[in-house]
Amino acid sequence: MMEEVDCRKHRLSTFQIIILGFAGVILLGALLLMLPISAADGRVTPFNETLFTATSAVCVTGLVVQDTGSYWSVFGQIVILTLIQIGGLGVVTVAASFALLSGRRISLMQRSTMQDAISAPKVGGIVRLTRFILRGTFLIELLGAVAMLPVFCRDYGWRGIWMAVFHSISAFCNAGFDILGTESNLYPSLVGYAGSPVINITIMLLIVTGGIGFLTWDDICENKLHLHRYRMQSKVILVTTAVLIVLPALFFFFVDFCALPMGNRLLASLFQSVTPRTAGFNTVTLSAMTGVSQAVLIFLMMVGGSPGSTAGGMKTTTLAVLVANVASTFRQRDSLQFFGRRVDCNAIKTAATILTMYLALFFGGAVFISMYEDIPLSLCLYETASAVGTVGLTLGITPQLHIPSQIVLIALMYLGRVGGLTLVYATFSSRKVGNAKLPQEKITIG
């Protein structure tokens, strides 16, 4: 009896399972990338570099300290792509998929863990939703690879098949890893395909599809064009996503790419609007963009994708709740509303907490790197926003950073993927919360 009580006492919470699962996969990936077979020249890669790469892959970020295309062998690239797929789907979802394939019954606790991992609203139907996620993911990635196949096979021959598969999975998982680099052209991303409508449009569609969330796609597949039947959350995500694509694209179109031909200008504007949320590809030289445009990119990187998606960041719903709260305060309403529905006040508290945590991580990490590396704070803010938003865009300073600065970025990528609140809940989940209420007193705000 005592042993049973002790087992219950030491049972891991859902949030602890999530953070330990991500950490375990990262460590295994780092060890595999250290093997001589993982590097193109057969060398043993230092642990700090493999840890950085594995963290970036599992956290679907895209920041790298070695060029993925030229440094890593095919085996190393396969390891990285596997880590990206696991990170995009989520460690818990991947583990559940193996349980489903083996025919084992999914326990209630496992269903609860899966619910938290994919931000599902309820435990009921979680197995059906997991099957939907797996089938949808592999189908979309396959369609993306097929669409890009003619272009990559034209340029790389039979190797183009691997290129198409790699970039399709990397784009859908919002990872931003590319294998287009060579020893004479490091870290090119998709700059060489800036004028290719096929590559641009396919990558953008994959990024948006992976970034709006699996629950939103479940809504779309179930209700088709009957928008009034959608969940309130799906409506908020779709509207916010559309606004965050269209408005920045218009800004970039008129500010940054005036020298490009009209077709390329439109593609470049749209691509640079989509990719910060949170894919990490780029088709133009980011350092050549204006300072204001780089600030807009930082904002987009911090916002990120949507809940239950392959993307990171604060999430579109967090931004929507904060903006709606401002609007309701201006209108002197007691609660904020979306599409004729009232939002629980706890959502406002959670959104404010997430914003505060992301700003603290973003600014604190940048200050440390700036002081340690003696480089301008503006450059560091860009890199830390990219890390904590799990984006992967860079102004080119990440490969030159020393180990302490790399550790800071590793921590930011990890926290950005598992979520700062998940880490807090995992730490304090075993502590009892008192129900007693203290005396209330007013405080002046503003």
Sequence-distant (6+) residues with CB within 8 A of 309 are: 174, 210, 211, 212, 213, 214, 216
Q: Would you state the pLDDT for residue 148?
A: 96
- Closest listed residue to residue 415, CA positions, set 387, 394, 393, 380: 387
- Closest listed residue to residue 180, CA positions, set 42, 72, 271: 72
Q: Would you state the pLDDT for residue 8?
A: 43
User: What is the spatial distance between Cα 279 and Cα 210, in angstroms, rounded to a whole number?
Assistant: 10
Torsion, CA 120, CA 122, CA 128, CA 133, rounded to 10: 0
Q: Would you state the pLDDT for residue 311?
A: 82
User: What is the spatial distance between Cα 204 and Cα 198, in angstroms, rounded to a whole number?
Assistant: 10
Q: Three-class SS of residue 395?
A: coil
By the 8 A CB rule, do 384 and 362 touch?
yes
By the 8 A CB rule, do 390 and 211 touch?
no
pLDDT below 70 — which residues of the chain?
A: 1-15, 91-93, 95-125, 419-436, 444, 446
Q: Would you state the pLDDT for residue 390?
A: 87
Compute CA 8 distance to the chain's CA centroid, rounded to the nearest angstrom.
Answer: 34
Q: Would you state the pLDDT for residue 7?
A: 43
CA 303-188-36 angle, 5° bins = 100
DSSP code string of 2-62: HHHHHHHHTPPPHHHHHHHHHHHHHHHHHHHHHSGGGBTT-PPPPHHHHHHHHHHHHTT--
pTM of the model: 0.88
User: What is the spatial distance between Cα 423 and Cα 416, in angstroms, rounded to a whole number?
Assistant: 10
How many residues are recorded in the chain? 446
User: What is the spatial distance between Cα 17 and Cα 116, in angstroms, rounded to a whole number?
Assistant: 10
Per DSSP, 171 falls in state H
What confidence tens digit (pLDDT) does each residue in 128-171 have?
Answer: 777 888 888 899 999 999 999 999 999 999 999 999 999 999 99
